[in-house]
Structure 1
Amino acid sequence: MESLIARIRTELAPFHGRMDAVWRLLASCTIVIVCSMTLQIPMLSLSLIMVFFTAQENTVLSRMSAIGLLAGSTLAVMASLILLMFTIDYPMLRILGAAVIAFCGMYFLRTSKLGAIGFLVALLVVNAQAMADNYADPDVLTRLQLWVWVATTYPVVVAMTIQRLFRPALPVNLLVSEYSRQLVEIEHQLEARITGGKPPTLHGAQVARGALALQRQLAFASLGHKERTAARAAAVSRLHAAAAQLARQAPFEASEDERLQMIAIRNACTTLRQCLGHETPFTFAATTATAGTGGARNAILREMERALRAATAADSDEEQPAGTANNGASGAVMPAAVPRVLYAKFAFKAILAAMISYVIYTSLQWPGIGTATQTCIILALPSLGATTHKGLNRLLGCLLGSVAALVATVFVVPHLESIVGLLAMALPVIAVGAWIAAGSPRSNYIGVQMMFAFALAQLGSFGPVTDLTEIRDRLLGIMLGLSVSITVYTLLWPEREGQALKTALARLRKAVAACAHADHHSIGAARLQAWSLLNQCRELQARVAMEPGWRDRNARRISNLLAKAEESLVAQQART
């Protein structure tokens, strides 16, 4: 129970940029709600979720997401209209045609970097079948499909505009901010040792997150001096890891030579932090202090000086070694070649689960649980563990959103008189969902689903909503879709990531060994690769743990191996 509470606190903890992301989402959602309610644009819940899908961690990803969503929405509406044009009087052909289109979309999801377009086409085409079942008039269906296009495109434009105008998350700014954050932590650690105070906590997991954050922002930042910037990132990561090793040292009274060294390093870190944001050259002159009695401490301080000299070399005109310019991308776990038939099997399983759910809710004549088919498309992920993880997140998010909608229906809706009251009711729930959605990939989908469940129950019409059956039916539909998806993915060609985890662990061992033998020029890039592999192994472990048949003994053994790898990466800072 304590570990669960600690994990929840970690997932909800504030970090730099999280509040800005929440404000951007709130501003976008407020504009969308006012526009949809004023102009009576239907499907407000769909519009709001498009806002969440558009807003990403930086402007580059947001722009790519916006282009994919606009293209996917347009293609989906066009495909739905053409399909309805020729099969409106033939339900069986209409359903089979929708299944074929959705199959192509899901196949495209696995085979292309623009797979989000295929995902959106499959989702909206399947959703169009529910409309065709409920409305037999072709004119009404045509208008509804056109409204779908409006409801899914204008929120993307609104969200993208807000992303660019309101404290934009530019990759360059995020990179400089991450530099500054890590250097400030290093300065605080050194200051505590200089003054004899209690040093702040700095452990290996923080070093790993910092190294990966630098690596990720480097991938998106369009900078003129890529090699120099990558070398700076490696140098800062080395400093950060050395500071973590210093934090592990027992309290000690620094000698005069050590104090002079630490003061010089602290001042150099402050200067480097000021230089990074203004592209001014950085220089560092090593101290001439003699070695003291603490061999490990002096090894750490020498490593910090070497990292600062590497940052100085990065700003000089000298040619950098090839290893220094590597931002760690080569350390990624590259998937083996996958036969195309496996992608076809994946698409078939997704459509089969959706069609089974469709047959169930139409046979029961219960259209309220039609969200089951959408759930099957949304949960279509390559591995069984990833599908289970996302399904549980979807269910938890729906529960939170449904509870919020239930409380609002009983206590708030009877007192609403204007759109101001509607905003006062909806925005706090959207803010909570936005805070969760701006977090780590492990839990961010909970926030998206929480917001969507609340909006579907409370913002689905242009007047007060007092019917509670919508909340009940949506929960049952998600549970049905989750059950069908997991059953199909478990029984039919299950894709497991156990072998991928073994391969990643083997690469991690080699990366840790490479760090131990790397020279002072390539050590920064080698450590970035190792930290990246360590993070990928942990993500794989979290997904594999949800696969049926995974034994607790394996989980404990792998957890111990990853903990030892992290300890080894941090401890290597003390080597001479």
Structure 2
Amino acid sequence: MNAPLAERLKNSLRWLAGELAPFPGRGQFALRLTLASAIAIVIGETFQIPSMVMSLVAIFFTVQANVVLTRVIFIALTLADLIAVPLYIWLLNFTYDYPVLRIVVSSVLFFSFMFCVRVSKAGGVLLGPALVILYAQSFADLTGQAEYLVRQVLWAVLAITYGSVIALVVNSLFASANPLRQLQAEVHRQLARASERLRQLAAGEAVEPSLSGEALQQQCATLQGFATFANMANAKDYAGQQYLQCCVAAVSHAQHVCNALPQALPGASPALRRALGRLHEQLLALDEAIAAHEPFHLTWVPDEEERASLPALAQAEDLYRTVQAVDQFDSAAVPGQPPAKEPLLAPDAFTNPAYVRFALKILISGLIGYFVFNVLQWPGIHTILITSGMVALPGLGTSVRQMSLRFYGALLGSLSALLVFIFVMPYIDTIVGLLLTMVPVIAAGAWLTAGSERLAYLGTQGAATFALALLENFGPSTDLTEIRDRMVGIILGVGICWLVYAFIWPESEGSATRAKLAALTRSLAALVRAPVGKDDPALQMAYAKQHMQCWSALNDCNLELERVRYEPQFKHGALAQLAAQAERMLGVSRDLLVTQDHVHSRALAAADPAYPAHPAASSPALAAAARLHDETAALLELYAERVDKRGAPPLAEQEQLRALAQQTTGAAGMPMLADLQRLALQAAELPGWDAGNDAAPAAANDLAAPTPATRDAP
């Protein structure tokens, strides 16, 4: 095995290990999925409910990370059923004896539904009826009895309904599924680590290593996600939502500040160590207040010695100002009404051709699948039709990833079912044996589903394919053709969708990536320009919220970039260069955020009257720091504008900023100036791109690297 191949294999295994690793809440999520599936299997086998697999699929789609989102999905499924059943019965009533008319009317309805799915916030409700209309076409030509078709649809709706009800009940009974409790658990975990670092530093013990930028980014995204769902659960209390967001921003900022603490304080005064111990207590008190869902009150007022010692450690000053801002949060100052909600339809719903093309591509995929299904006269491959609806997602990269996950999930589920059929099925004669056989595989699928979106659908598809093979009949089965037919249908469906999506109006996500990168850089510029007020808690809290927004924007860029990597053109041309340069840009942005933590902490300490004056903090040095600060923010703003408008990279301005940072003197005696120099040099390292690529096709019209290493990338 050559070195590059071994390295790629090592990286792939490391990535897979990271995707399969446990994290807070994943085990509970997987347990809820597995328990609900086991209950559905027992009920379905006991009462011999047809289409039992549909109940498992409904469970995997209904059970979510928290009960709020589960209720939303449950309501959406219920509304979808109420729309789909009458509509399908009406369609059969008027078109069953006229196949051409049935296909035309079904196509019009399917196109309309998929158009609404794309342009409407409530479009997810219409995805169910669209899939029913599409999937039911595979049965309409296989029987001459319309009543049989209606009964099949009603049984399928019943299976979906009782599966989603079971999912809702199980999710509601688990206390950990409450989004507020999930947020409180994550807050406790992050504050416990931050306060422990403070305690260790105050006691003179060895401080645990700092987290990497990637880990900080992940923790910030997790905290923000839980906060969003917690606010959804308390939608009517707008002031309470704002206070909760204030606390979450303070927790995130405290985590980053404490992560930047030094490993030791050899010359620290007793007053500073005492102050660090009191800050440790305040973080624990903030944790208790959030856990009890009560306002936080600062219980420590520094004495003169403690007040004078805080600026000696910039992070301590920053942390004190942060908890002080939470204590002084004014609920009365929060507007009584939330801002206006976004419209139900996209503003460009009827002017942007991308929405019509999206619905038309899915319709073309479905009609081609229907044609192949009828030409082959192979009833078992009816999954060819449902595939075109299941992978219908905006963006070429997102759709291709969904196709890949559907294929590999079906492959894993089919292989698992095949092994069970050969080695286990001959020994199964009770429902207990069936459960003991199915639960481990379903649990494995649930564990994948409970992970990140990179592999979540893989688990759902694998569990569904496995259950489809074993639960097709109410008793032991040895018919291997079921496994073969489902797999062939999915392979054909994925192949058809890939060809249609790749060659008919390919909707590249490169431009969306560029827009998100520009938004990230603007957020960084706003963070650098954020004013510092030593006695203004509102400014401190505004900075904490902007800081959290930057980390969230960084996470969004990472997710968008992962979708781009799945596009067929990714390994060639501008998209490959976009990925390489965006990766570099995100790495630099991560470093900028970490350095900005130090700059802000230093600025807060310098603004304090107790800040110890030193000879280097003269007027020329302060003027140099102010100029370097302004030039760095200006470069970030210019860079964001050029990225957004595909203009020439600001290489000259970056060289000027680099020269200015290297020429600035006084950094040795002024820590804040040294941090500003590092911030400016990092901003000057933001990657450039080849403006000539702006003449490339729209699907690949994005950032490109001028460096030889990137240009030669495969």
The answer to whether TM tops 0.5 is yes
* Structure 1 match to 2:281: 267
* Structure 1 match to 2:375: 363
Residue 301 of structure 1 aligns with an amino acid whose one-letter code is A
* Structure 2 match to 1:142: 150
Q: How has the CA–CA distance of structure 1 residues 317 and 358 changed in structure 2, closer, same or farther, with 3 Å as cutoff?
A: closer
User: Are 2:529 and 1:513 aligned?
Assistant: no
Residue 30 of structure 1 aligns with an amino acid whose one-letter code is A
User: Are 2:598 and 1:574 aligned?
Assistant: yes
* Structure 1 match to 2:579: 555
Residue 542 of structure 1 aligns with an amino acid whose one-letter code is E
Q: How has the CA–CA distance of structure 1 residues 181 and 254 changed in structure 2, closer, same or farther, with 3 Å as cutoff?
A: farther
Q: Using the alignment, how far apart are the partners of 2:146 and 2:200 within structure 1?
A: 73
C-alpha displacement of 1:207: 2.4
Q: Using the alignment, how far apart are the partners of 1:549 and 1:407 within structure 2?
A: 37
Query: What are the equivalent positions in structure 2 for 1:268-347 lying under 5 Å apart?
Result: 268-278=282-292, 279-285=294-300, 287=302, 288-289=305-306, 298-314=313-329, 319=333, 337=348, 339-347=351-359
* Structure 1 match to 2:259: 244
Q: Using the alignment, how far apart are the partners of 2:191 and 2:76 within structure 1?
A: 37
Q: How has the CA–CA distance of structure 1 residues 33 and 521 changed in structure 2, closer, same or farther, with 3 Å as cutoff?
A: closer
C-alpha displacement of 1:487: 1.1
Query: What are the equivalent positions in structure 2 for 1:48-63 lying under 5 Å apart?
Result: 48-63=56-71
> What number of residue pairs does the alignment pair up?
564
Query: What are the equivalent positions in structure 2 for 1:216-231 lying under 5 Å apart?
Result: 216-221=225-230, 222=234, 225-231=240-246
Q: Using the alignment, how far apart are the partners of 2:264 and 2:471 within structure 1?
A: 58
Contact 1:207 1:237 in 2 (8 A): no
Q: How has the CA–CA distance of structure 1 residues 326 and 570 changed in structure 2, closer, same or farther, with 3 Å as cutoff?
A: farther
Query: What are the equivalent positions in structure 2 for 1:251-262 lying under 5 Å apart?
Result: 253=266, 255-257=268-270, 258-262=272-276
Residue 125 of structure 1 aligns with an amino acid whose one-letter code is I
Q: Using the alignment, how far apart are the partners of 1:483 and 1:164 within structure 2?
A: 39
| CA distances 1:439-466 after superposition (whole Å, capped 9, x unpaired) | 1122211111111011111111111121
Q: Using the alignment, how far apart are the partners of 1:67 and 1:290 within structure 2?
A: 55
Structure 2, unpaired ranges of 5+: 1-8, 532-539, 603-714
Q: 2:216 aligns with which of 207, 213, 220?
A: 207
Q: How has the CA–CA distance of structure 1 residues 402 and 570 changed in structure 2, closer, same or farther, with 3 Å as cutoff?
A: same
Query: What are the equivalent positions in structure 2 for 1:492-503 lying under 5 Å apart?
Result: 492-503=504-515
* Structure 1 match to 2:549: 529
Residue 74 of structure 2 aligns with an amino acid whose one-letter code is A
Contact 2:285 2:296 in 1 (8 A): no
User: Are 2:487 and 1:470 aligned?
Assistant: no
User: Are 2:445 and 1:430 aligned?
Assistant: no
Q: Using the alignment, how far apart are the partners of 2:130 and 2:555 within structure 1?
A: 32
Q: Using the alignment, how far apart are the partners of 2:405 and 2:197 within structure 1?
A: 38
* Structure 1 match to 2:684: none
Q: Using the alignment, how far apart are the partners of 2:528 and 2:555 within structure 1?
A: 19
C-alpha displacement of 1:552: 2.9
Residue 226 of structure 1 aligns with an amino acid whose one-letter code is Q
Query: What are the equivalent positions in structure 2 for 1:382-401 lying under 5 Å apart?
Result: 382-401=394-413
Q: Using the alignment, how far apart are the partners of 2:437 and 2:223 within structure 1?
A: 39
C-alpha displacement of 1:98: 2.0
C-alpha displacement of 1:491: 1.5
Contact 2:368 2:496 in 1 (8 A): yes
Q: How has the CA–CA distance of structure 1 residues 191 and 105 changed in structure 2, closer, same or farther, with 3 Å as cutoff?
A: same
SS in 2 for 1:148: helix
Q: How has the CA–CA distance of structure 1 residues 460 and 192 changed in structure 2, closer, same or farther, with 3 Å as cutoff?
A: farther
* Structure 2 match to 1:454: 466
User: Are 2:209 and 1:196 aligned?
Assistant: no
C-alpha displacement of 1:559: 0.4
C-alpha displacement of 1:372: 1.5
Residue 59 of structure 1 aligns with an amino acid whose one-letter code is V
Percent identity over the alignment is 34
Query: What are the equivalent positions in structure 2 for 1:95-106 lying under 5 Å apart?
Result: 95-106=103-114
Alpha-carbon RMSD across the aligned residues, in angstroms, is 2.6
C-alpha displacement of 1:251: 5.7
Answer with 458-467 or 4-13: which moved more: 4-13
C-alpha displacement of 1:90: 2.1
Q: How has the CA–CA distance of structure 1 residues 200 and 475 changed in structure 2, closer, same or farther, with 3 Å as cutoff?
A: farther
User: Are 2:427 and 1:420 aligned?
Assistant: no
Contact 1:398 1:450 in 2 (8 A): yes
* Structure 2 match to 1:540: 560
Q: Using the alignment, how far apart are the partners of 1:146 and 1:367 within structure 2?
A: 20
Q: How has the CA–CA distance of structure 1 residues 239 and 570 changed in structure 2, closer, same or farther, with 3 Å as cutoff?
A: same
SS in 2 for 1:136: coil
C-alpha displacement of 1:419: 0.5
* Structure 2 match to 1:485: 497
Contact 1:105 1:119 in 2 (8 A): yes
Query: What are the equivalent positions in structure 2 for 1:49-128 lying under 5 Å apart?
Result: 49-128=57-136
Q: How has the CA–CA distance of structure 1 residues 107 and 42 changed in structure 2, closer, same or farther, with 3 Å as cutoff?
A: same
Residue 458 of structure 2 aligns with an amino acid whose one-letter code is I
Residue 209 of structure 1 aligns with an amino acid whose one-letter code is Q
SS in 2 for 1:377: helix
* Structure 1 match to 2:5: none
Contact 1:190 1:262 in 2 (8 A): yes
Q: Using the alignment, how far apart are the partners of 1:24 and 1:410 within structure 2?
A: 29
Contact 2:207 2:263 in 1 (8 A): no
Q: Using the alignment, how far apart are the partners of 1:555 and 1:217 within structure 2?
A: 29
TM-score by length of 2: 0.75
* Structure 2 match to 1:564: 588
| CA distances 1:466-489 after superposition (whole Å, capped 9, x unpaired) | 122222222222221112112111
Q: 1:17 aligns with which of 4, 25, 33?
A: 25
Residue 95 of structure 2 aligns with an amino acid whose one-letter code is T
Q: Using the alignment, how far apart are the partners of 1:535 and 1:326 within structure 2?
A: 26
Contact 1:393 1:443 in 2 (8 A): yes
| CA distances 1:395-427 after superposition (whole Å, capped 9, x unpaired) | 121122112111111111110011011111111
TM-score by length of 1: 0.92
Q: Using the alignment, how far apart are the partners of 2:175 and 2:332 within structure 1?
A: 36
User: Are 2:387 and 1:375 aligned?
Assistant: yes
Contact 2:322 2:541 in 1 (8 A): no
C-alpha displacement of 1:336: 8.4
C-alpha displacement of 1:286: 5.6
Q: Using the alignment, how far apart are the partners of 1:50 and 1:367 within structure 2?
A: 23
Q: Using the alignment, how far apart are the partners of 2:51 and 2:547 within structure 1?
A: 48
SS in 2 for 1:134: coil
Q: Using the alignment, how far apart are the partners of 1:291 and 1:181 within structure 2?
A: 31
Contact 2:175 2:181 in 1 (8 A): no
